[in-house]
Amino acid sequence: MVEEARVWISGVGICSALGHDWATVSDALLAGRSGVSLVQGFDTSQHPSRIAAQVQSVPCPPSSTPEQWAACDRLMQATWWCCESALRDAGLWDQRHERRIGLVIGIASEWLTRWEREGCAAVPQLQPSAAPMLPTVAQRLGLSGPVVSLSTACASSNSALAVGREWLRAGLVDACLVGGCDMSVTPMVLAGFGNLRALSRRNDAPAAASRPFDKDRDGFVLAEGGTVLVLEAASRVRQRRGPVYGELLGVGMTSDAFHMVVPARTPQQAARAIGLALADAQVNPEQIDYVNAHGTSTPVGDAVESMALRQVLGEAWPGVPVSSTKSMTGHLLTAAAAIEAVACLVAIAKQTIPPTINLDQPDCELCHVPHTAREQPVRVAVSNSFGFGGSNTCVVLRQV
């Protein structure tokens, strides 16, 4: 690849049920620790699913006062924390006013959660977009680059990675904050997904509820939090001798054009997205050391992803390790792809593959990593994220 086109990940900011920093989340993922428990904060007695991976409180960043922080809603807090943490981690905090730092964040319907919180009186003041919040985050952080919110459902964070990479290559920004934030463990969201029968009803054993690729899986587990990554041109990171987590090597995106909620029963478009990412990265299946699967723990979704991976990997598929960290984090919806990119970066940094916990009876033919982490060389990692509406995305990450 031409040196000017290489994009590196130089900072990470995390807010999750497993922790709020790289070290804590890394340890939790490799230890096979679940962040799922009974829902707290509202009455769930009438809900079919009463479990989730919740963030009990978001830390107050150094740039905010406690009073200012308390006035922010939880989505604003998560986004602010993740963005500021990522900038500080990359060593760009003190340089942020002099650089064009962009912001591309996948966020679910901010207006809907505000309506749920404030009632019908809030509706006339709102637009069906998260745009009002992100400029506020940029203003609080002192960022003067372009700001975009996007939503491709559960593929949103991978879409943000793709947009951020193109901004850098086009010279529109010097660095870009990309990722997703979602604080959707609310009565309405829990009821909606629950009534769709999309959520696990294993209420008596929350930590065992998310069971990707397991014969007894019965739905995904709702989660909340966020993850933001700093993207920079490799040449700039080298010049300032900044930290490096890995390289964003390839991106692939397609659409099923099938249904707004139900995943396609055939793997063609999911497989095509993975194949496009590998082609963009100039990586062969034999060079893949790890796949972080979308693996939501739904019967249809897991089966289709398994078929897609087998189709793309071909003869290499029996030897490529696959795991789903949603078994530990739950499903962060628009933020899912970003925290799963972090799981890939953890695998690269620690040379250890995080497991799929609760995988007692695999019913999909993959090279699983059940229960416990596996130490092995990891240079190239692939992360799949597929969203409602048939949005299929895949990113390829590489060790630097």
In this predicted model, what pLDDT tens digit does every residue of 193-221 receive, in sequence order? 999 999 999 999 999 999 999 999 999 99
CATH class of the structural domain 246-398: alpha beta
pLDDT band at 126 (very low <50, low <70, confident <90, very high): very low
Task: For residue 113, give both structure tokens.
Answer: 């959660």
For residue 84, the model assigns a pLDDT of 98
Residue whose tokens read 């739905």: 219
Residue 115 has pLDDT above 70, yes or no: no
Residue 264 has pLDDT above 80, yes or no: no
For residue 263, the model assigns a pLDDT of 74
Residue 27 phi/psi, 5-degree rounding, is: -60, -40
Please provide the size of the chain in residues.
Answer: 400
Write out the catalytic residue numbers: 154, 294, 331
For residue 127, the model assigns a pLDDT of 45
Cβ–Cβ under 8 Å, residues 158 and 395: yes
Q: Which residue has the higher pLDDT, 388 or 238?
A: 238
Residue 238 has pLDDT above 80, yes or no: yes
pLDDT digits 0-9 by tens, 324-379: 999 999 999 999 999 999 999 999 999 999 999 999 999 999 999 999 999 999 99
For residue 25, the model assigns a pLDDT of 98
pLDDT digits 0-9 by tens, 284-326: 999 999 999 999 999 999 999 999 999 999 999 999 999 999 9
pLDDT band at 112 (very low <50, low <70, confident <90, very high): low
Distance separating alpha carbons of residues 155 and 172, to the nearest angstrom: 24
For residue 258, the model assigns a pLDDT of 78
Q: Give 60: exposed, middle or buried? Use CB within 10 Å, 0-12, 13-18, 19+.
A: middle
For residue 131, the model assigns a pLDDT of 45
Residue 124 has pLDDT above 60, yes or no: no
Q: What dotted CATH number matches 7-240?
A: 3.40.47.10
For residue 120, the model assigns a pLDDT of 54
| Residue 188: count of CB within 10 angstroms of its CB | 13
Beta carbons within 8 Å of 154's beta carbon, 6+ residues apart: 294, 296, 331, 333, 334, 336, 337, 385, 386, 387, 388, 391
Q: Where, residue-wise, is CATH 3.40.47.10 in the chain?
A: 7-240, 246-398
Q: With helix as H, strand as E and coil as C, how does the chain read?
A: CCHHHCEEEEEEEEEECCECCHHHHHHHHHHCCCCCEECCCCCCCCCCCCEEECCCCCCCCCCCCHHHHHCCCHHHHHHHHHHHHHHHHHCCHHHCCCCCEEEEEEECCHHHHHHHHHCHHHHHHCCCCCCCHHHHHHHHHCCCCCEEEECECECHHHHHHHHHHHHHHCCCCCEEEEEEEECCCCHHHHHHHHHCCCECCCCCCHHHCCCCCECCCCCECEECEEEEEEEEEHHHHHHHCCCCCEEEEEEEEEECCCCCCCCCCCCHHHHHHHHHHHHHHCCCHHHCCEEECCCCCCHHHHHHHHHHHHHHHHHHHHHCEEECCHHHHCECHHHHHHHHHHHHHHHHHHCEECCECCCCCECCCCEECECCCEECCCCEEEEEEEECCCEEEEEEEECC
For residue 358, the model assigns a pLDDT of 98
pLDDT digits 0-9 by tens, 70-110: 999 999 999 999 999 999 999 999 999 999 999 999 997 65
Cβ–Cβ under 8 Å, residues 294 and 308: no
For residue 119, the model assigns a pLDDT of 64
What integer is the mean pLDDT of 184-198? 93
For residue 130, the model assigns a pLDDT of 42
Distance separating alpha carbons of residues 336 and 350, to the nearest angstrom: 21
Q: Torsion angle of alpha carbons 84, 175, 29, 188, nearest 10°? A: 60
What integer is the mean pLDDT of 259-275? 86
